[in-house]
Amino acid sequence: MTKPKHRQPGQPSPLDISLYRLRKIGVALENDTVLEAVDRKFISKALQDIGAGLDPIECLNIKAGRGESRSRRGIHERELISHVMGYVASMIKPLDEGGMAMEIEDAFDYTADAFSMSPETVRRYWYNNAEMHHSIYLAPLSVYPNPKDIV
């Protein structure tokens, strides 16, 4: 899978932010809570444009970039990889830094057991995602730019 090069490692992609915004709007509509004016205007215009026959992917601003997936599986896989990388990084961290000072291969085995996957999968994730080699978990999408700031 080709990785996008236009953002800093660990930051959510524009697609991640757009999908989060749509989930937030959907929850607000379902719970009958007041939508912010910018979100109400965005969803209203998008639905009108879709009704007029325009491309829903363009109208909802959810076009997947190179190497990205809009599917639930793709989103969950990115989150899973982030957790797996954090777990491995915590395992190999020195004891005085709060880690377990494991050898990398032992950390792969231990993490594979914890996440019910093969050590080969963990190893592949580790070597294909060098930018995620940290034991600090990233902030949830809700702390990133307010959807009203995203146009």
pTM for this one?
0.47
Where are the domains positioned within the chain? 14-68, 72-132
Q: 52 phi and psi, to 5 degrees? A: -85, 0
Residue 1 has pLDDT above 70, yes or no: no
Residue 8 has pLDDT above 60, yes or no: no
**What is the tens place of the pLDDT at every residue in 90-126?**
888 888 877 788 899 999 998 898 888 999 999 999 9
- Token pair, residue 64, equals 């997947």
Instruction: Report the distance separating Cα 9 and Cα 4, nearest Å.
Output: 10
SS3 category, 40:
helix
